[in-house]
Amino acid sequence: MTAVAARPEVRSAARGGSWVVYRCELAKLVRQVKVQAAAILCLLAPFLFVSALNVQSNTPQDTLFGRWVHDSGFSIPLVVLGFAGQWALPALTSVVAGDIFSCEDRYGTWKTILTRSRSRSQVFVGKALAAMTYSIAMTALVAVSSLAAGVLLVGRQPLIGLSGTLLQPGHCVVLVLVAWATVLPPVLAFTALGLLLSVASRNSALGVGGPVVIGLALQLASLVNAPEVVRMLLPTTPFGAWHGLFTDPPFHGPLAQGAVVSAVYFVLFVGGAHALLRRRDITEG
């Protein structure tokens, strides 16, 4: 041993420990094929969607703004948002959130990372932040890509709002981006659900598939004749809260309600996942 044995005191660098873990997790994520594939899908899918719409005359009329897909490019990101909120965003977020803890069980690397002077809480926070970053980034990517696809392949025509008023292009851009931003709370709530399932099940299939199945089941539940209060408390309901932005006058009640509901689920899921990880005995993995 030469320099290795030089032994300056190993410092734990406890300060910013979560930030260090976060950076490591991001470095790992960008090298994963599934993340790269998801990013490419988010980027290309809206363009493929618009291309497919352009070669057919009929429109997805049962979807909000679906009837305007040939008339205004700003309808495209809203149609995509309507679809995405039903299952695509829960699926997209769970790709990482549902796997980010259980992959350590799959690879057997818990013992490797938990013996490096980083506390479990730091590891948890770093991983959770990385999963949230991915979820936000993918949501933003779909938003921007679908807006670009609409504008580039359909055009910048004004859009007719839900109250029949004509929304000018500049206003449409803002409203579309705000509408996409409003799904971030439920996206983060589903990310938290993925984290919880990932920690609790130690199984990536359950972690990734669970939020999708739960999201779809809750969508179905919202369609049956459930009491309004139940529908309001479902974590999937906030995905549609943006509708009020396109009325005249706009109504923001569902947005606030959705944000609160999402925040409650987020805290419960993240808190549960954190507690489980902290108490776990790492005997395997």
- Catalog residues that contact other proteins under the rule CB under 8 A: 1-14, 17, 20-21, 23-24, 27-28, 31-33, 107-120, 122, 279, 281-283
| Those residues with Cβ within 8 angstroms of residue 88's Cβ, 6 or more apart along the chain or in another chain | 142
Which pair of structure tokens corresponds to residue 211? 């939020």
Nearest to 98 by CA among 241, 206, 252: 206
Residue 36 or 51: which CB sits closer to other proteins? 36
Residue 13 or 217: which CB sits closer to other proteins? 13
| DSSP for residue 88 | I
Residue 11 or 55: which CB sits closer to other proteins? 11
Least separation, in Å, of the C-beta of 35 and other proteins?
A: 11
Least separation, in Å, of the C-beta of 138 and other proteins?
A: 20
Residue 48 or 282: which CB sits closer to other proteins? 282
User: 172 near 159, Cβ under 8 Å?
Assistant: yes
Least separation, in Å, of the C-beta of 120 and other proteins?
A: 8
Phi and psi at 174, nearest 5°, equal -65, -50
* Cα–chain center distance at 49: 20
Q: Other CB atoms closer than 10 Å to residue 31's CB: what's the count? A: 9
Least separation, in Å, of the C-beta of 17 and other proteins?
A: 8
Least separation, in Å, of the C-beta of 276 and other proteins?
A: 14
Give the Cα separation of 85 and 89 in Å (integer). Answer: 6
| DSSP for residue 249 | S
Give the Cα separation of 35 and 88 in Å (integer). Answer: 15
The beta strands (E) that lie in 30-168 are given as: 159-160, 166-167
Residue 119 or 222: which CB sits closer to other proteins? 119
Residue 38 or 255: which CB sits closer to other proteins? 38
Residue 101 or 242: which CB sits closer to other proteins? 101
User: 270 near 196, Cβ under 8 Å?
Assistant: yes
Least separation, in Å, of the C-beta of 121 and other proteins?
A: 9
Least separation, in Å, of the C-beta of 204 and other proteins?
A: 14
